[in-house]
Copies of this chain bind each other. A is one copy, B any other.
């Protein structure tokens, strides 16, 4: 059953700490299976992809047409969409692009106090690979949120891999790929797809960065290939934390909690409020909405297994609790959210005020919806154009600048037992 805790009561600290520490992540031991798949794809390339795709997706890769979904197919899927939906995807894409363009980092190039020119220059990676799950988790919004930052960063080649069980793909995802300008789509999924992206095969050129959601095999493949390619964060089950006072409509808050719960049985929805009566109203509203929700099966499982309501004396107490949870999404549903927001340190994304439901950020607000989960907002950020770029620092020393600071480097090099380091500077100071 959903937990109901009261801050300050006996046992609160232990129960809350258990929530903070609970990983809700599969401990399925897939590491060995994944390692074998990676090694097979590395050694045998496309032949391994053919075998795994037959075995796992019941799809035979023989002709070129079996391997790829073409740009024409994506354009057709886009043309065939209902106009309302096509416009909604386009609005989302335009707003995501506008927000991410503001993330493009500035180069540095300056001359310092000793006359040394120093700086750093950003470049896009050459190629990015985006994993798109098949089935339930194939969301066009996810494709936009991963593909558009890569395009804004300036990658030359944006490659999607996606399983197409029995050859079937999701037209909404293809339409989103058309809008985002994806360059290649391969009908390959699972750890084998990530291996193909990282190592390259005869057909699939290797990429530099792999992002995108996936099941435990995909996540483990990314983890094992981290270093061979860049990856985005290790993603776990997602969560929402709503901090709300009594002046909210309980129905609104219940819908917010359920919008997280309907994602997956492992999702987590948490309410912190300073009013016990309001807490009960929300609890009742959740139960009522679950009666008519088409996704009730998933949402109820999530709410019962992971749902939590915490009653606190004042909302100021909520903030240190929120920092311990470091939730992916935090809603501050109060009339003046700013003072609470200023005190909050750890959150993936924050939704300010009563009329900012988290769902608006999932689709159309602009900021990325790929966010750190499972308390990782303590140290990680959402996906951004920086995931598809890298920085090269540079130094340009004229003889005067080298004379000014070279002797210190020589002293340190000798102290570290690295005489050739010292000599490379000494020779130039003669």
What's the nearest-Cβ distance from chain B to residue A347, in Å? 5
Residues in chain A within 8 A of chain B (CB atoms): 84-85, 87-89, 91-92, 95, 98-99, 102, 108, 112, 116-118, 120, 123, 125-126, 136, 139-141, 172, 208-209, 223, 226-227, 229-230, 233-234, 249, 251-252, 255-256, 258-259, 261-263, 289, 293-295, 299, 337, 341, 344-368, 371-372, 374, 376-382, 384, 386, 390-399, 402, 405-409, 411-413, 415-425, 427-428
**What are the 5 closest A-B residue pairs judged by CB atoms, nearest first?**
A227-B234, A230-B379, A88-B408, A367-B393, A352-B396
Known: A141-B416, A261-B420. Contact between A223 and B227, CB under 8 A?
yes
Please indicate the chain B residues that have their CB under 8 angstroms from the CB of A417 in the complex.
136, 294-295
Please indicate the chain B residues that have their CB under 8 angstroms from the CB of A346 in the complex.
123, 390, 392
User: Which of A92, A374, A391, A405 is most buried by chain B, counting CB atoms within 10 A of its CB?
Assistant: A391
Tell me the bound Cα distance from A321 to B355 in angstroms. Answer: 55
User: Which of A226, A227, A293, A413 is most buried by chain B, counting CB atoms within 10 A of its CB?
Assistant: A227
What's the nearest-Cβ distance from chain B to residue A378, in Å? 5
- Do the beta carbons of A379 and B423 come within 8 Å of each other? no
A85 contact from B123, B358, B396, B412, Cβ within 8 A: B412
- Do the beta carbons of B294 and A172 come within 8 Å of each other? no
Please indicate the chain B residues that have their CB under 8 angstroms from the CB of A367 in the complex.
118, 120, 393-395
What's the nearest-Cβ distance from chain B to residue A163, in Å? 18
Tell me the bound Cα distance from A255 to B378 in angstroms. Answer: 44
Please indicate the chain B residues that have their CB under 8 angstroms from the CB of A384 in the complex.
391
- Do the beta carbons of B356 and A396 come within 8 Å of each other? yes
Number of copies: 2
Q: Can you list 23 A-B contacts with CB-CB less than 8 angstroms, sorted by A residue number?
A: A84-B411, A85-B411, A91-B405, A120-B367, A140-B415, A226-B234, A256-B424, A259-B418, A259-B420, A261-B420, A293-B420, A295-B417, A295-B419, A347-B392, A354-B428, A359-B413, A359-B418, A360-B395, A360-B402, A360-B405, A364-B405, A365-B397, A367-B395
Please indicate the chain B residues that have their CB under 8 angstroms from the CB of A412 in the complex.
85, 88-89, 92, 140-141, 363-364
Known: A209-B379, A393-B382. Contact between A427 and B92, CB under 8 A?
no
Please indicate the chain B residues that have their CB under 8 angstroms from the CB of A229 in the complex.
379
- Do the beta carbons of A255 and B420 come within 8 Å of each other? yes
- Do the beta carbons of A366 and B112 come within 8 Å of each other? yes
Tell me the bound Cα distance from A255 to B172 in angstroms. Answer: 59
Please indicate the chain B residues that have their CB under 8 angstroms from the CB of A359 in the complex.
409, 413, 418, 421-422, 424-425
